[in-house]
Amino acid sequence: MSVLDLIPAPVRPWAVALVLLLVAGVSAAGAWQVQKWRYGKLQANQAMLSAESAEARANAALAALEVEQGKRLALEAKLKTNDDTHYKELSDAKKGQQRLSDRLATADVRLSVLLATGPGCSSGNGLPAAASAGSVVHGGARAELDPAHAQRIVAITGDGDQGLIALAACQAYAKEVSTPK
């Protein structure tokens, strides 16, 4: 006797259909699980590739950032060196101006100017003035400036020196910053 004989005859087609549906359902559930496993594996693989790609991009960005930071630090060091150089030049010029101003104030040094000689001058003879005793006149006739005027001239030239040094510092800064590396 077979299992099929145990099922009454009018219910047999329904039992066979039920068994076939059960087999189809189990097959579908099995296929579903296999596809779920394959799709999960594919997603995990894609997530791993995406994470590796993101890590590679982050490492590249970090390396580029380190390079740029190195360039910035090198530029800052160059600019500091330039600033120190220009500050030293400026302080040396100020010290020199102050020494000259002090020497002018103590009458240790006197400023003089060349007097114009020639056909358009009031003296008109074109000859240098006679040298006084104990002095030698080189070139044309000279006249000493009043100490107050000499101080003003030294102050003006000192301001000009400071302006030129500041201009040179600005030009060096602009050149250093604008030069592509």
State the pLDDT at residue 124.
Answer: 47
Q: Which of 71, 92, 95, 86 is nearest to 179 (CA)?
A: 71
Contact present, 97 and 137 (Cβ < 8 Å): no
Beta bridge partners of 112: 144
Mean pLDDT by runs of 10 across the 181 residues of the chain is: 81 91 96 95 96 97 96 92 91 88 77 69 51 56 79 86 89 85 65
State the pLDDT at residue 2.
Answer: 82
Cβ partners under 8 Å of residue 7, min gap 6: 15
State the pLDDT at residue 114.
Answer: 74
Element (H, E) at 38: helix 12-105
Amino acid at 102: D
State the pLDDT at residue 137.
Answer: 54
- The residue extents of the domains of the chain are 16-122+138-178
Q: Is the dihedral of CA 176, 157, 116, 102 positive or negative?
A: negative
Q: Rounded CA gap, 142 and 129, in Å? A: 8
Q: Rounded CA gap, 147 and 153, in Å? A: 10
Q: Rounded CA gap, 142 and 49, in Å? A: 89
State the pLDDT at residue 149.
Answer: 82
State the pLDDT at residue 41.
Answer: 96
Question: How crowded is residue 7: how many other Cβ atoms within 10 Å of its Cβ?
Answer: 14
Give the single-character DSSP code of 146: P
State the pLDDT at residue 53.
Answer: 97
How many residues would you count in the chain? Answer: 181
pTM, 2 dp: 0.51
